[in-house]
Amino acid sequence: MQYAFVLGRVYTLSLAELIAVLEKADPALNLNGDPVKITEASEEVLIVETPAPLKAEVLQKRLGGSIKILQIVDTIKKRPQDSVNFALKHYFRPSTLRKQFLKEYKGKIQIGMSIYLLDPELARRPSPNASEKNPQISIFTEPKRIGMMAKKTLTESGYSVRLVLPEYNSLALASVVVTKNLLLQKGAEICILAGKEVVYTAKTLTVQDFEDYGRRDYQRPARDEKQGMIPPKVAQIMLNLSGAKAGETLLDPFCGIGTMVQEGLLLGYRMLGSDINKQAIKGSEQNLEWFRNRYKIAPGKYHFETADARHIHKLLETQKISSIVSESTLGPIYSTYPKKSEIDTNFSDLQTLYRETFKEFLKILPAGGRIVICIPAYRRGKDEYDTLPSLDWAKDLGYNCIDLISPVLAKKLKFLKLTARNTAIYDRKDQIVAREIAIFQKQ
Ligand SMILES: C[S@@+](CC[C@H](N)C(=O)[O-])C[C@H]1O[C@@H](n2cnc3c(N)ncnc32)[C@H](O)[C@@H]1O
């Protein structure tokens, strides 16, 4: 079976998370721990082959970095010079549409059409349909052309069809549009994954529940705009990168108002949260009380304490943890790029804190236990950052730095945005202080 995952905006992290999840043995997801077989990958989408059907709905809820899960329906050859719609000219037959995309629904149907690119060049070149008379024809006209072909076929065979198309200058429907138009309930979203010499057709199985992520972030009773909170999706990605098994206990020693703890509970972990700030722990407790009721979490699955991470082992005399997943303090937050001297001071202070806390973590982690942590990176320009000068202090203490993506795969997937030390940066356009996500393993 072939599946495609539509990757989130920070696609390097999305892809790293997917590989971590797909390569972990997990009967709940029908996964046996074998290496993932990648058919194709681009900035937009990852196509994989699996020996058994995936449990897409369960998987979708577990992935912070994937926007949609699609099932590949057909693979169609295409000549490089052909447009996508030309390659699909004879594809949309009533029987194909009924059997592959619509079999669960009768009556008035809604069809969505999205294109994802396996070859980014397709968006840069003028479309093969462009002519001197019509030079503006670009790839962005393709969803409409292909959607109209599918709609015509269905209308002619007696269906009443409403076609939902991407916005101007966009090739794909946002997950919110798929959800709001009930495309998966009342029809289908047909996705076209377009490469240079091949076009895949795919059916959307699930989309990310954007409303639920919003609730988990903004509806919590306690917030802390001053220290900042990690977005739930990023917390989920980091938890997945820990590789911990469901049921194990994870620690967030800089837990703030408890985002990592709540997301860990949803993934099936037991969670411990601690923070030096009493107010933060009060906020965490309030938030988790709300969260526990809303998401039906069994009592006793989490615990909070006020504690300095530099002396955390005292808290854990009776508890065993398998991993640490945390957004540590990121230092001051800036609205403009700070002076070099300020950055140097921040990094020096943080390095002292990291050295002290990582030394402490050696006492509570088992051999092979991981630390997945966010450290600040200052955005100088597009894709340019000042990062903590070195991670050697961690190696000196007895940790290995784990590659976010294996070097063999990174060499193949040249589009990935990895740092020189094989970490990745989660940033937002409006923020100077971005988060570098690094993984360490106790030797
Ligand atoms: C960026 S915030 C974490 C926010 C959290 N991820 C959330 O979403 O709410 C960093 C936290 O580290 C805590 N902190 C700073 N130094 C600490 C230390 N030495 N030990 C424990 N916590 C510390 C701060 O009080 C702050 O709440």
For the chain, what are the domain ranges? 2-208, 217-442
Tokens of 132: 């001197």
- Across 99-103, average pLDDT: 87
Measured from the CA of 259, which atom of ligand 1 is nearest? 8
Determine the residue of 227, 305, 356 to mutate for testing ligand 1's pocket, defined as the one with the most ligand atoms within 8 A of the Cβ atom: 227
Q: Which of the pair, 420 or 315, is modelled with greater confidence?
A: 420
DSSP 159: -
Distance 265 CA to ligand 1 centre (A): 19
310 CA closest ligand 1 atom index:
19
pLDDT band with cut points at 50, 70 and 90 for residue 82: confident
pTM for the model stands at: 0.95
Element (H, E) at 214: helix 210-218
CA of residue 221 to ligand 1 center, whole Å? 18
pLDDT for 58 beyond 70: yes
Q: For residue 56, is pLDDT > 60?
A: yes
Centre of ligand 1 from the C-alpha of residue 227, in Å: 8
User: Mean pLDDT across the stretch 51-57?
Assistant: 94
Residue 279 Cα, ligand 1 centroid: separation in angstroms?
A: 11
Q: With cut-offs at 50, 70 and 90, classify the pLDDT of residue 312.
A: very high
Best of 226, 271, 275, 355 to mutate for ligand 1, by most ligand atoms within 8 A of CB?
A: 275
- The model's confidence at residue 417, banded by pLDDT at 50, 70 and 90, is very high
Question: Ligand 1, closest atom to CA 328?
Answer: 10
Q: Which atom of ligand 1 is nearest to the CA of 357?
A: 19
pLDDT exceeds 60 at position 134? no
In the chain, what is the straight-line distance between the N-terminal and C-terminal CA atoms, in Å? 38
CATH class as words, domain 2-208: alpha beta
Place 139 in a pLDDT band, splitting at 50, 70 and 90: confident
Helix (H) / strand (E) element for 360: namely helix 340-364
d(CA 432, CA 214): 23
Which atom of ligand 1 approaches the CA of 307 most closely?
21
Q: Which residue has its alpha carbon closest to ligand 1 atom 3?
A: 256
Q: Which protein residues touch ligand 1 with a CB less than 6 Å away? A: 227-230, 253-254, 256-257, 259-260, 275-277, 280, 308-310, 327, 329-330
Q: In the predicted model, is pLDDT for residue 432 greater than 80?
A: yes
Question: Please, which pLDDT band fits residue 126 given cuts at 50, 70 and 90?
Answer: low
Dig out the tokens for 117 from the structure. Answer: 């690119």
Residue nearest to atom 17 of ligand 1 (CA): 276
pLDDT for the residue 299: 83
The one-letter amino acid at 323: S
Distance 328 CA to ligand 1 centre (A): 6
What are the backbone dihedrals phi and psi of residue 441, each rounded to the nearest 5 degrees, phi first?
-135, 130
The average confidence (pLDDT) of the chain is 94
Q: Indicate which residue's Cα is closest to atom 25 of ligand 1.
A: 277
Spatial distance between the Cα atoms of 354 and 360, rounded to a whole number of angstroms: 10
Q: Ligand 1 centre from 356 Cα, in Å? A: 15
CATH number of the structural domain 217-442: 3.40.50.150
Atom of ligand 1 nearest to the CA of 277: 25
CA 276, 277, 283, 285 torsion-angle sign: positive
Nearest CA to ligand 1 atom 8: 229
Question: Which single residue is written with the structure tokens 């402490």?
Answer: 360
Q: How many other CB atoms are there within 10 angstroms of residue 28's CB atom? A: 11
Atom 26 in ligand 1: residue holding the nearest Cα: 256
Structure confidence by residue, pLDDT tens digits, 162-201? 999 999 889 999 999 999 999 999 999 999 999 999 999 9
pLDDT at 157 over 90: no
